[in-house]
Structure 1
Amino acid sequence: MSASKPKKSVKRRNKNLLNNSEQEFVAGRRKTVLQALKKLKIQCSRKEVPNIALLGSGGAQRAMVGLLGSLVQLDKAGLLDCILYLSGVSGSTWCMASLYKEPNWSTKLETVKEKIIERLSGPGVSLTDAMAKLKKYYYGKDFFSLTDVWAVLVVTSYVKEIDERTLTEQRKQHNKDPFPIYAVIDKQSKQSNDGDPWFEISPHEAGYSLTGAFVDTCDFGSQFDNGLKKKHQDEMDMLYLQAMCSSALADGEATWKWIKAISVPEIKSVLDKMDQGKDHTGGNASKTTQEPVGEDECYQELLNPVDADPSALEQSSKTKLTDFFRGQRQFGQTADKHKKTARCITQRIWGRNYNFLHNMTDESVPAALLQKETRDLIDAGLLINSPYLSMLRKERNIDLFIALDFSDGDPFTTVREAAKTCKKLNIPFPEVNVPSDEGKKPKDFYVFKGQNVPTVIHMPLFNVVNCGDKPGDWRKKYGILKGPYSAEMITEVMGVAGKNISNNIEKLLEEIRAVAEAK
């Protein structure tokens, strides 16, 4: 519905300032960090407290479980309270979403861990509940995209729940936990190599990390024009946020392979069941007896060859899909809305939202970010599989990164790409040099440092220390396409991740002490 009074909600701040709520949170959290350092016999004043960020990479359920196992060991070692920020991409955000369901989760992590493991080891979301949720997404907002389908059919199969809470509900619930940052990227900026692809979402605001343009999280997704809110949209829920963060197929031909192999039969089943359900007003809906295009023909349009030209596919499919959706008018939806739905599917649209910067006049914002009414937000792992760039905002002044890497392939790609990007953007970051023979057989602990740059600790999940001479076998056994994990698999991955922490407590303390002394 439209807001009763348009209001200015776009925030363009001096880049040297954080959001007021984040500043207040950080000030309080630094007191907790100071006390934790004293317990570890690291002496420093309040002004000298180092800003430490823990980063979780992508890696589907491997990342989710690996991050959980790492946090448990950090807690046991008394290091968790040294962490100021917790940030993740893709699968790590699944873990974060599960943790931040619990107020002040870090004060009762063992209990929270058991609840998460019990859920992950239990039954999945029922088809009835999945259908109901997809129907909510389908009719509840202006843009229905493949991210909605991904949320209901894929993310729920791993996380085993439909989480309908919102980020803003967490604002007052985590004063004893690290400050959470969820990272995604702007698809158009990535593809055109202009604008600012780095986008972050916290309980307080969402926006472009390096540009410094933000909107209140409760207004993210609403329609804006020149900084004024024109039309309100409900805040996205945590299930959708997890799907947006983990939409690994959102930028490439793999999308259609996924649709063909996995999603279309289930979409058909869901929409078939919708026909037999209730309409949006709560009344019983009778099935349309005459449809210009039959269901089988409509769904066949979604099964077109995966190598079809996108523009040709859109032209050939739009009429049939639009006619089909128009035939579903018993749901009380307009033909225009169904045209939008058809377009989202045929154009392979993921994570589409209104652009809160649309039509603003601000020379400090890249012009590319001001022009379009909508932007598409997708998995940050499609650019760099770790949330370095959001956390490297100058005003956050991070002294030490502890980067947990759960990626597939080369275990050093994330840190190398971060270094390469920072060099291009003149952002302080250490040189990254790794012996060539350690690419396939990494160690469990690397430190990169330099003058006037943050220290970076890089910890590959599978390595020669905790996996013997064949870490590649572990990567294959727990590939990111594996899952959902059994209880035994969860225990094993958590154990391996935990060893990376417990085996390196002294090294972690040494680096924390070093950055504290340097301040």
Structure 2
Amino acid sequence: MMSASKLQESGDVRIEHSLNTNEKEFVAKRRETVFQSLQKLKIHCSQTKVPNIALLGSGGGQRAMVGLLGSLVELDKAGLLDCILYLSGVSGSTWCMASLYQEPDWSTKLDTVKDKIIKRLSGPGVSCENAYAKLKNYHKKDNFSLTDVWAAMAITTYVKEIDELTLTDHWDHLSKDPFPIYTVIDKHCKQEKKRGDPWFEISPYEAGYSITGAFVGTSSFGSRFHENCRRKKTQDEMDMLYLQALCGSVLADREEICKFLWEKINDFFKNLTSTIERDAFEEMKKDPKNQVQKTAVFKCYQVLMDLVDMNLCVLNRKDPSELIESIIKTLKEHSGGKGHLSFPVEKTNFAEKQAAKLFVNIFTEQVCKDLNWFCSETLGLCKRILTCMASWIWGRNYNFLHKIKDKSVPSTLLENETRDYEDAGLLLNSPYFSVLRKERDIDLIISLDFSESHPFKTVTETRELCEELNIFPEVSIPTEDLNKPKDFYVFKGKNVPTVIHIPLFNVVNCGDKVEKFRKKYGTFQRPYSRKMISELMEVAGQNILNNKDKLREQISEAVRKKRLD
């Protein structure tokens, strides 16, 4: 097994509880900006005692995206934005981050950047043709999953663009902006709970497991590695559209997402009619007398459409039997005797929700396997989409830790050739663990919580998760605040960062209309109008405007605390 230093020198995989060298250099430079900002605020400290401050944006779909933007605008106006060393987000907050970091030095011209983002978000969406072209490109990857589908079909609906640049393209080592950290979770580790490390971060330099301390260069994340931690097969670095989908792949519970996706896939397939006709024409050009192949194109397409309708039937509590029988009949007629599909449809109780779901998942997967008698590029993509839906595969990438020999890495991280990554909101809707790494030495965390309902869930759950690690302060919420949150909370402890918790909707900025605002700005709904965007930005901004003096006070306290350490 290579030593940590040798691994670091290899440029491939690094297993070490330390910061990447490039991050260290950037942070040192950024701390000079923070120092100058503190002087302007008349918060005096020596350059060696500058506090490390992290700003966190929780998940919450477009609500989080717009809420973070509104908060940053007010932080800038208050002269506090340049005090931020790290900016970390999950889910919808990463959509805002991706938009910001398109612009070099965005924090120095935020008003202009804000206007540009709002104009895009309130403008026309991405065309079906461009979304399809993007999906075809994703289909060329080794590990295609629903994250690729979500990127092309859903993320484009909300962010209104296809950003094909990469995270390393976005980043300039001389940037004047806070250091960005995008966070997701490892699905397998989430399911196995105490076996492994679910917290996965992606920065401009490295991607990897925050607590374990196992990282790979961001441009190499998704590539295949040998057991000696060297690259075996290089994959292109993921683009920003895919990264936003990877981080923001949960806007509701599974059933709601599933229905949303099936409906999107239904519309998408219907829009492929002209493409399917072209495929049939191409087959006819090869052999004008071969009507069988021409018919096969349309029959294959019809089977796939019927599969979509069948799944929608089950989700809408309707009997899919006729569609199933039609699919089986078509397969028998056009498989040339090679079809092996045989399902006892009459033995399935479609009135029983779980039984019906299980049946259609297995049936969909097997039909796609059986459709080998004709498959153009377009139909191959459609088949792969349906297979991913049946298996519910999200965020699949090669595992850069597969079979390496290192006792410091949990065994569950070594077992599979691939790992599945998903929205961190499925486990914890805030990126605390990215900034709780000891080597980042964070003194003050400002947590902007854009969660849909429980305003204290992220901070209380983080405290519970950190109890044995002793890296998080005690959290005590007044009983009367549980349903009527205020706009500013501070939690402190010994030898741990101070945490400021700011719920988006509260009795200060919303009065007695907290529930009304939550309902109006739901996570899972159509893109917000320009008027809604402006209102939400104002509401989020008020949380900073109303508490700018308290924020300065806590930054001053962090300076005093650091001076005593």
Report the TM-score when normalising by structure 1.
0.91
- How far 1:128 moved relative to its partner? 1.5
**Residues 414-448 of structure 1 deviation map (CA, whole Å, 9 limit, x = unaligned):** 10111111114x14111111112212211010000
Find the counterpart in structure 1 of residue 395 from structure 2.
Answer: 351
**Residues 138-179 of structure 1 deviation map (CA, whole Å, 9 limit, x = unaligned):** 2x2012211111111111111110110001112326620000
- How far 1:330 moved relative to its partner? 5.3
Q: Provide closer, same or farther for how the CA distance between residues 249 and 271 of structure 1 changes in structure 2, counting only shifts above 3 A.
A: farther
Q: After the TM superposition, which residues 308-327 of structure 1 pair with which residues of structure 2 at under 5 Å, given as runs? A: 308=354, 312-324=359-371, 327=374
- How far 1:292 moved relative to its partner? 9.8
Q: Is the 8 A contact 1:125 1:156 kept in 2?
A: yes
* Count of residues in correspondence between the two structures: 503
CA distance in 2, matches of 1:330, 1:386: 40
Find the counterpart in structure 2 of residue 3 from structure 1.
Answer: none
**Residues 121-150 of structure 1 deviation map (CA, whole Å, 9 limit, x = unaligned):** 111111221121111112x20122111111
> SS where residue 409 of structure 1 aligns?
coil
Q: Provide closer, same or farther for how the CA distance between residues 462 and 342 of structure 1 changes in structure 2, counting only shifts above 3 A.
A: closer
Question: Are 1:375 and 2:419 matched, yes or no?
Answer: yes
Q: Extract unaligned runs of 5+ from structure 1.
A: 1-6
CA distance in 2, matches of 1:437, 1:250: 28
Q: After the TM superposition, which residues 293-304 of structure 1 pair with which residues of structure 2 at under 5 Å, given as runs? A: 294-302=300-308, 303-304=310-311
Q: After the TM superposition, which residues 165-204 of structure 1 pair with which residues of structure 2 at under 5 Å, given as runs? A: 165-172=165-172, 175-193=175-193, 194-204=195-205
Q: Provide closer, same or farther for how the CA distance between residues 69 and 339 of structure 1 changes in structure 2, counting only shifts above 3 A.
A: closer
Find the counterpart in structure 1 of residue 260 from structure 2.
Answer: 258
Find the counterpart in structure 1 of residue 432 from structure 2.
Answer: 388
CA distance in 1, matches of 2:430, 2:482: 18
Q: Is the 8 A contact 2:12 2:220 kept in 1?
A: no
Question: Are 1:451 and 2:494 matched, yes or no?
Answer: yes
Find the counterpart in structure 2 of residue 147 from structure 1.
Answer: 147
Q: Is the 8 A contact 1:245 1:378 kept in 2?
A: yes
> SS where residue 401 of structure 1 aligns?
strand
Find the counterpart in structure 2 of residue 156 from structure 1.
Answer: 156
Which amino acid in 2 is paired with 1:125? V
For residue 530 of structure 2, the aligned residue among 451, 472, 487 is 487
> SS where residue 296 of structure 2 aligns?
coil
Q: Is the 8 A contact 1:298 1:324 kept in 2?
A: no
> SS where residue 296 of structure 1 aligns?
helix
CA distance in 2, matches of 1:325, 1:234: 29
Q: Is the 8 A contact 1:255 1:348 kept in 2?
A: no
Q: Is the 8 A contact 2:122 2:530 kept in 1?
A: yes
Which segment is superposed worse, 120-129 or 158-167? 120-129
Which amino acid in 2 is paired with 1:61? Q
Q: Provide closer, same or farther for how the CA distance between residues 431 and 495 of structure 1 changes in structure 2, counting only shifts above 3 A.
A: same
- How far 1:239 moved relative to its partner? 0.5
Q: Provide closer, same or farther for how the CA distance between residues 325 and 34 of structure 1 changes in structure 2, counting only shifts above 3 A.
A: farther
For residue 242 of structure 1, the aligned residue among 238, 241, 244 is 244
Q: Is the 8 A contact 1:86 1:180 kept in 2?
A: yes
More helix by share: 2
Q: Is the 8 A contact 1:143 1:341 kept in 2?
A: no
Q: Extract unaligned runs of 5+ from structure 2.
A: 1-8, 288-292, 316-352
After TM superposition, what 4+ stretches of structure 1 lie above 2 angstroms from structure 2?
7-14, 249-260, 269-279, 284-289, 291-319, 322-331, 337-345
Question: Are 1:399 and 2:399 matched, yes or no?
Answer: no
Q: Provide closer, same or farther for how the CA distance between residues 342 and 474 of structure 1 changes in structure 2, counting only shifts above 3 A.
A: closer
CA distance in 1, matches of 2:358, 2:401: 27
- How far 1:479 moved relative to its partner? 1.2
- Structure number with bigger Rg: 2
Q: Provide closer, same or farther for how the CA distance between residues 500 and 400 of structure 1 changes in structure 2, counting only shifts above 3 A.
A: same
Q: Is the 8 A contact 1:89 1:379 kept in 2?
A: yes
For residue 552 of structure 2, the aligned residue among 488, 493, 509 is 509
> SS where residue 466 of structure 2 aligns?
helix
- How far 1:412 moved relative to its partner? 0.3
Find the counterpart in structure 2 of residue 4 from structure 1.
Answer: none
Q: Is the 8 A contact 1:70 1:494 kept in 2?
A: yes
Q: Is the 8 A contact 1:131 1:274 kept in 2?
A: no
Find the counterpart in structure 2 of residue 230 from structure 1.
Answer: 232
> SS where residue 375 of structure 1 aligns?
strand
For residue 375 of structure 2, the aligned residue among 328, 352, 355 is 328
**Residues 354-396 of structure 1 deviation map (CA, whole Å, 9 limit, x = unaligned):** 1111111111000000010111110001111000011111100
Which amino acid in 1 is paired with 2:296? Q
